Structure 1
């Protein structure tokens, strides 16, 4: 029996099978006939085995004539009378039993005993969970690489100003459009992308909606970078052009010009449809709205407007409306050369021709400004 109590005390050092055998054998419950309470020669109290039924955690050692706590012997790391020398004070037994079973260490040991064996299931579940997480992470990593290819295709086509879609994007088409064909060209060198394009049924990345979403996402990233640069710039100029597209809709383009670490930059912000109201006040509100999105209204020092006649008017044009709301706008440049014409000549002609056009435009504006000043 003494060896059994010693084995219980070293329960944590046993292997799983031995631990399971100890628990299956149950707690030792000897009669403990020699556990007595005496008063001289008179026996006043003796241990009754019914205490084992009252407390399902109570066990005993016949060799030492002491009572122990079975769960605490197995799982508790704290030394007390119930795990060390054993309890033998029958006079205070009821009170000590109640006190011990309310202790935190005993409650923890009871829980450990009740759940022993299920921990192996927990470990198995944890292993499966770790495997699932590992598989998920690998899939996420693969999807990121695929998404990187999709974004690279979008950036390449946008940079080269190439159309994304084709007239026939079906699988049997010999030319499915630049975007789809470019991705298949990438797939020839990328097994992961090739497998994705062949097997994906939910998200292949080839649909028009996905193309638009990717274009919008890339645009948002670029605009955020522009916003950060403009926040650091002391001054900003705005260039606005208006033209009518093939669908007879008035499209306004906005370019912000600013200095970023000693380099002059121009940021094209895109086209917007202003067909509903092409009057100068509406266009002015639109321009101020764009400036507001980039937190640079108070930084505006220069403005250029080309295209629509309503914009070119010195009195009622957009520049006049802007100056009414921004009195601190020091100067603006209004030229008879539209931004589109300047860029067109600059991209097709030689550098000398391009510089000459710019110089003529600036000179024309200066003359116009001087004449207006003298006439005032």
Structure 2
């Protein structure tokens, strides 16, 4: 193979490398665009969930169909926010891919659960290794299932007494052993311990 053959081979190699690079660049651009299309509705949904949780407002409406006048606060607030930006408008509700609208009740519940986990984490961090009192009440829900509400009372680093609701847990019965085991599971899952309890109400 002469000089000309070597030059041709190098040119072909350079061409292939440039082509691969071009494919990588195109794929990266495509991925960034897809990420953007996903992140916009997620970001807006998080804003709506934060607002509704902060103001203790309900999410769902009686009729969430497309033709309904009032589809529930979650969707109505989302519709209002999307009017503020063309980018948000183009990537939310009916303009988002059908599997990425983030409006189904399951998605709404998952977003609320994410917020709940963050709140529980901040409570755990605030308590740290300090002590707390436990407030527990049990009752039946509308389906006659036994449930237990759990509240922690503690003093924060500034000396203020705080009471924080950490959850409602269904229990199979209200025997002391069942309640103790359920409390232990809740405390353990929140990285708290019975040894930190200094009072029970």
TM-score range relative to shorter protein:
0.7 to 0.9
Over the aligned positions, Cα root-mean-square deviation in angstroms equals: 2.3
Partner residue in 2 for 1:89: none
For 1:121 and 1:302, the matched residues in 2 are separated by: 73
User: Which residue of the other structure, out of 114, 134, 140, is the alignment partner of 1:244?
Assistant: 140
TM-score by length of 1: 0.48
Partner residue in 2 for 1:185: 80
Aligned residues: 196
For 2:162 and 2:32, the matched residues in 1 are separated by: 41
User: Which residue of the other structure, out of 178, 181, 190, is the alignment partner of 1:282?
Assistant: 178
Partner residue in 2 for 1:209: 106
Query: Which has the larger Rg?
Result: 1
**Secondary structure at the residue paired with 1:248?**
coil
Residues 23/264 of structure 1: CA separation in 2 closer, same or farther (3 Å cut): farther
**Secondary structure at the residue paired with 1:269?**
strand
State the shift of 1:142 in Å: 4.5
Partner residue in 2 for 1:354: none
Q: Is the 8 A contact 1:233 1:258 kept in 2?
A: no
Provide structure 1 residue ranges, at least 5 long, that are not aligned to the other structure. 1-21, 27-70, 75-112, 305-376
Q: Is the 8 A contact 1:250 1:273 kept in 2?
A: yes
1:297 aligns with 2:183: no
State the shift of 1:151 in Å: 1.2
1:261 aligns with 2:154: no
State the shift of 1:205 in Å: 0.6
**Secondary structure at the residue paired with 1:228?**
helix
Post-superposition CA distance 1:3-49 (Å, at most 9, x none): xxxxxxxxxxxxxxxxxxx843x5xxxxxxxxxxxxxxxxxxxxxxx
Post-superposition CA distance 1:57-112 (Å, at most 9, x none): xxxxxxxxxxxxxx7xx8xxxxxxxxxxxxxxxxxxxxxxxxxxxxxxxxxxxxxx
Provide structure 2 residue ranges, at least 5 long, that are not aligned to the other structure. none
For 1:248 and 1:222, the matched residues in 2 are separated by: 29
- Structure having greater relative contact order (Cα 8 Å, sep ≥ 6): 2
